[in-house]
């Protein structure tokens, strides 16, 4: 898992951060949103190097958005023979990411802890007690 977090950190550090830091001209809205989001993923992946299981939702997010993009955006364009070089590059990047995350995600852990385990109650005395403890610690 740590190797996949490291790959994510290094890949996004070289791919996204230079453009965000040295930005020239104006970006369209979604280019700015996407770049900012990927830089945030990079920063959160640094935490994954220290806490791999706690940051597992980051891998699930990456796996999910790449899958959605391939199915909803790339597949219809491929079927209608409307692939541009930019879309082809993104297809490669997303497929590579899906393979990496599919191999790095401990699916047994995901099944046991996210699917089979009962969810947290909507309202819990434990949450109120934790908030009270946090308030007393800071006072």
Give the Cα separation of 58 and 48 in Å (integer).
Answer: 8
- CB of 66 closer than 8 Å to CB of 98: yes
Residue 128: the pLDDT is 61
Write out pLDDT tens, residues 2-47: 999 999 999 999 988 887 788 777 778 887 888 889 999 999 999 9
- The more confidently predicted of residues 76 and 125 is 76
CA separation, residue 13 to residues 95, 104, 111 (Å): 20, 20, 31
Average of pLDDT values for 83-96?
Answer: 95
pLDDT of residue 25: 72
Whole-number mean pLDDT of the chain?
A: 89
Sign for the CA dihedral angle at 100, 104, 106, 110 comes to negative
Would you kindly state where each structural domain of the chain is located, as residue ranges? 2-120
pTM (2 d.p.): 0.80
Structure tokens at 92: 């490669």
- Report the alpha-carbon distance of residue 15 to residue 18 in Å, rounded: 7
| Cβ pair 70, 62 in contact under 8 A | no
For 1, what's the count of Cα atoms within 13 Å in the CB-facing half-sphere?
Answer: 20
Q: Indicate whether 133 pLDDT > 80.
A: no
CA torsion sign, 95 to 1 to 53 to 43?
negative
pLDDT at 129: 65
The pLDDT-based confidence of 121 (bands split at 50, 70, 90) is confident
pLDDT at 70: 97
Asked if pLDDT for residue 138 goes beyond 70, the answer is no
């Amino acid at each position: 898992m740590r190797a996949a977090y490291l790959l994510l950190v290094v890949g996004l550090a070289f791919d996204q951060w230079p453009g965000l830091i040295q930005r020239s001209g104006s970006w369209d809205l979604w280019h700015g949103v996407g770049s900012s989001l990927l830089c945030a993923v990079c920063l959160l992946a640094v935490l994954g190097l220290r806490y791999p299981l706690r940051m597992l939702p980051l891998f699930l997010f990456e796996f999910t958005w790449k899958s959605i993009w391939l199915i909803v955006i790339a597949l219809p364009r491929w079927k209608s023979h409307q692939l541009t070089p930019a879309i082809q590059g993104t297809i490669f990047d997303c497929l590579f990411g899906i393979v990496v995350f599919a191999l790095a995600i401990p699916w047994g852990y995901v099944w046991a802890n996210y699917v089979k385990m009962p969810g947290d109650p909507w309202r819990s005395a434990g949450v109120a007690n934790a908030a009270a403890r946090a308030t007393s610690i800071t006072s």
